[in-house]
Structure 1
């Protein structure tokens, strides 16, 4: 994973206390494998916007934005009008309330950021972390960022503060809207299910115990392509669930209780960043960043023994 780089210098407002902080992204989007769209000659493709009415390409400087009020009926906005509607960016994350830890349903979690103290912010930063951990509280705050007003949660961990953008109520669907039909559960079924939960329970979540198997498989396929070998599809696992099967719930629970649990895997070393290759093509830019491995010399196949001559009948 690439070294963390600060996105912005901000201030965390805590009553009359102002804490200088630096903002970091909590996730690394560069870890994902990305493919590029290429033309048959191997060159990259450029995205263009075409008018549905005329079929002609529309340059970006001639594009307008509109809100659809009815089918194919739009209210148009000029760039300067949209600019006036944007939320003015603020360098202050203003704490407005403290609530118990766990009071926010993770369903409302959006993008996460890390907060670190900036110059002269070490002492008040440490004080806030200690106070929040001691009280078991997290903070709710308002923050204007990238032309939007956000409600955010600031929570304390062993290592520092995490800022979590929260979704608004009208951005989150409710399970109540799905009209899930209630089904009665038998006490014997519940007992077996609780035994299974107890059997495979752990004290904490260890993210290093899991690996992105798909990413590993894609990177291996890229290496095979670079080496000039044909990619072979992996066979479906024997334990993969088959759709559309009707199973005996009690029998499945009993069988699960008797099945040994898999030990957590050790943390895998960070995988290399995939080259931008698709269909065996490597662009000059990607080829410079990643040298193709030398092909192993092929071992000559043993000559087949001559077939015995059949004796002609006299």
Structure 2
């Protein structure tokens, strides 16, 4: 993974104390394998915007932005008008409340960042970090990010503080909208389910224990393509018939027995595999994905 680079300098307001901090992205997308759209001759394609009414290409300099308030009717805004609607640029992040650590539902989590102390910010940064840990609370703050106001959660860990951008309430749907029917559960069924959970208990989530099997499969396919081989689709696993009736208690007992055997043999109870590959492999994967089909014969000819 590439060295962390600061993307912004901010001032975190903690009461009358101002903490200078630097902002870092907490995630990186280099592990994503991207495929590019190519022409029949293997050259890259570029995107163009075409008018629906005339069919002619429209240059970016000629474009305007509009809001559709009725079907086919728009109010148009100039770049200056849109600029005037933005919040004034500010590096101040103002803490507005302190809430319990678990008070923010992860459904509201958007992009995650890290914050680290800037020059002369070490002492107040460490003080806020320790105070949040000791209180069992996190901070809610208002942040003007690129002209748009958003809410953030600041939570402390042993290594530093996480700066978690949050979604607004209107951006998150509710499970109540699904009108889920809750069926009755017997005490015996619940007891077996709890025993299955106990078998697979873990004190924490360690992403390094899991592997992104889909990425490995795609990388293998890219290697095969570069070597001139054909991609063969894996055989589909037979699924139970939709009309098959499975007794819930029998399924729970079988799960409990199978989990016990797996635990006794040293196997993991979990089957999900989703951790990222090492950085070197991720970089190689991105480069592979950018090789056009026409390049493969040339590489084989050199061998």
Same fold (TM over 0.5): yes
- Asked whether the 8 Å contact 2:31–2:276 carries over to 1, the reply is no
**1-side partners of 2:157 and 2:29: how far apart?**
23
CA RMSD across the alignment: 2.4
CA distance in 1, matches of 2:252, 2:87: 54
Larger Rg belongs to = 1
Stretches of structure 2 that go unaligned for 5 or more consecutive residues are none
Q: Counterpart of 2:18?
A: 18
Report the alpha carbon displacement of residue 15 of structure 1 after superposing the two structures with TM.
Answer: 0.9
Q: 2:60 matched to 1:60?
A: yes
Structure 1 counterpart of 2:170:
170
Match of 1:160? 160
Partner of 1:256: 255
Q: 1:155 to 1:84 in 2, by over 3 A?
A: same
Contact 1:153 1:165 (C-alpha < 8 Å) held by counterparts: yes
Higher relative contact order (CA 8 A, sep 6+): 2
Within 5 Å, which residues of 2 pair with 1:109-188? Answer: 109-188=109-188
Taking structure 1 as reference, are residues 236 and 209 closer, same or farther at Cα in structure 2, changes over 3 Å only? farther
Partner secondary structure for residue 107 of structure 2: helix
Superimposed CA distance per residue, residues 29-55 of structure 1 (whole angstroms, 9 cap, x where no aligned partner): 111001111101111101001111111
Q: How many residues align?
A: 287
User: How far 1:267 sits from its partner (Å)?
Assistant: 8.7
- Hey, what does 1:34 align to over in structure 2? 34
SS at match of 2:282: coil
Deviation at 1:77, TM superposition (A): 0.8
User: Contact (CA 8 Å) 2:143, 2:152: kept in 1 or not?
Assistant: yes
SS in 2 for 1:96: strand
1:280 aligns with 2:279: no
Shift of 1:228: 1.9
Matches of 2:300 and 2:212, distance apart in 1: 24
**More helix by proportion, 1 or 2?**
2
Cα shift at 1:188: 1.3
Shift of 1:243: 7.3
Consecutive aligned runs of 4 or more in structure 1 exceeding 4 Å deviation = 264-268, 291-295
SS of equivalent to 2:38:
coil
TM-score by length of 2: 0.88
The reply on whether 1:97 has 2:107 as its aligned counterpart is no
- Corresponding residue number in structure 1 for 2:8: 8
| Structure 1 unaligned blocks of 5 or more | 296-314
Maintained 8 Å contact 2:108/2:167: yes
